[in-house]
Amino acid sequence: MNVQISPLLVASVAVFVVGIFAPFLRPNYFVGVRLPWTLRDERVWIATHRFLSVDCLVAGVFGFAVAFTGRATVPLVLVVVFGATLPAVIFSYIAHRRLHPARS
């Protein structure tokens, strides 16, 4: 019996699990989207991780579905992982700028 586990399948499950636990994370220096502006303001941290949760769940389901089509490639693994995290980083910066407008 030859069982081959797709790297996309593994990455998708990992991203999905992150999506399940992300909204329960509290500000810390070890796990989560640890950027200066998320660590500085708890409201930005909470909003970012709620957004990350939805984003990771969607990316995980997408990657999981694609993994079974037989078209799983390394670029798709990168799309799933970065597609889940990069929008959350951008969202966190926008949320921070809305709560703390630049002083002129």
pLDDT tens column, 29-38? 999 999 999 9
Residues of the chain scoring pLDDT < 70? 1-5, 72, 103-104
Give the chain's domain count. 1
What is the pLDDT, as a whole number, of residue 38? 94
Confirm whether 18 is domain-assigned.
yes
Q: What is the DSSP letter of 69?
A: T
Confirm whether 104 is domain-assigned.
no
Confirm whether 2 is domain-assigned.
no
Confirm whether 69 is domain-assigned.
yes
Question: Kindly report the CA angle at 75 between 72 and 78, in degrees rounded to 5?
Answer: 105
Q: Where are the alpha helices (DSSP H) in 1-104?
A: 7-21, 36-40, 42-67, 74-99
Domain that holds residue 86: 7-99
Confirm whether 1 is domain-assigned.
no
What is the pLDDT, as a whole number, of residue 70? 73
Average pLDDT value for the chain: 88
0.85 exceeded by the pTM?
yes
Confirm whether 91 is domain-assigned.
yes
What is the pLDDT, as a whole number, of residue 103? 60
Place of tokens 């810390």: 28
